[in-house]
Amino acid sequence: MKSYAKMFDLSGKRALVVGAASGIGRASCLGLAAFGAEVFCADVDLPHAEETAAEIAAAGGAARALHVDLRDVDSIARAAEMLAAPDVLVITPAINVRKPLVDVTDAEFDRVIDLNLKGNFRMFRAFAPGMARRGKGSIIAFSSVRALVVEPGQGVYGATKAGVLQMVRALAAELGERAVRVNVIAPGVVETPLTAQIKKNDAWYRAYADKSMLKRWAQPSELVGAVVFLASDASSYITGSSLLVDGGWTAADGRFSPPLPASTAS
């Protein structure tokens, strides 16, 4: 008889999380460790990745920090040589340049593409073959609601997030017969270093909060459930999928609330 009580248990599994120094990546490390995984906390910012690993260790978990730069194939190769084939791979980093599309320079375009899209590709190329040879694993990349809906100033960023989604679908199709699952998580607006510019602008901050059905921003910790779910056996038949964690952002227009009759629930 299947033990459903243990379907989220990650004991004995090794997880590599890139972006571990802050935000969603840091929260993902803490969450995976809480469910029993040994976590490799990777980031270009090694000192803060070490702080994440130390927090896990202080709570009784197993963690180690390492330097990984998604723009540097050598740092990725060193991590792949050390870890070979982790059970779980989580990739969170992204950058943005908020400009009208026709004002984006070649250098800015290349910088966003290099990290957001090509960085994920480099990780897939380095780690997916080993996971396929072993015959199991879960790869979790981060897309965004911007893969589906955009606004002025989000053209290049949105293109990278749509690209990540399509790469994940292709990789999932290629690795399915080897029991390696590949999925994306698509957050709405989350309070992270990437969104600090918006948070400083009260009108912008409030507008984004009002766009979701929950009328607030997400905290990085609220993405952990999706990460643990996709990392665990609870999602054993899910691959090639995009899991929206957006507070209802993409499910409703949100531009105008018509004068409907008073709700009986109010």
Q: How confident is the model at residue 56 (pLDDT cuts 50, 70, 90)?
A: very high
**Which of 39, 156, 23 shows the shortest CA–CA distance to 86?**
39
Q: How confident is the model at residue 91 (pLDDT cuts 50, 70, 90)?
A: very high
Residue 256 domain-assigned? no
- At 26, list the tokens: 């840091």
Q: What is the pLDDT of residues 146-168, one digit of tens each?
A: 999 998 999 999 999 999 999 99
Q: What is the CATH number of the domain that holds 68?
A: 3.40.50.720
According to the model, what pLDDT value does residue 200 have?
86
Phi, psi at 153, each rounded to 5°: 90, 0
- Segments in the chain forming alpha helices (H): 23-34, 46-58, 73-83, 106-112, 118-134, 155-175, 196-199, 202-211, 224-231
**Dihedral sign computed on CA atoms, order 68, 73, 74, 78:** positive
Residue 262 domain-assigned? no
Q: How confident is the model at residue 254 (pLDDT cuts 50, 70, 90)?
A: low
What's the pTM value of the predicted model, to 2 decimals? 0.94
According to the model, what pLDDT value does residue 2 have?
75
Residue 2 domain-assigned? no
Residue 261 domain-assigned? no
Residue 155 domain-assigned? yes
Catalytic residue among 157, 205, 208, 237: 157
Domain count, the chain: 1
Residue 253 domain-assigned? no
According to the model, what pLDDT value does residue 256 have?
57
Respond yes or no: is residue 157 known to be catalytic: yes
Q: Is the pLDDT of residue 266 over 60?
A: no
Residue 210 domain-assigned? yes
According to the model, what pLDDT value does residue 253 have?
75
Average pLDDT over residues 209-222: 94
Q: In terms of residue numbers, what domain contains 244? A: 11-248
**Which of 252, 231, 144 shows the shortest CA–CA distance to 192?**
144
Residue 84 domain-assigned? yes
Assign 3-state DSSP to the chain and report helix, strand, coil percentages, each to 5.
Answer: 50, 15, 35
Q: Is the pLDDT of residue 45 over 70?
A: yes
- For residue 261, give every residue at least 6 positions away whose Cβ sits within 8 Å of its Cβ, in sequence order, or none: none
According to the model, what pLDDT value does residue 11 have?
98
Average pLDDT over residues 1-23: 94
CA dist 10 and 62 (Å) reads: 12
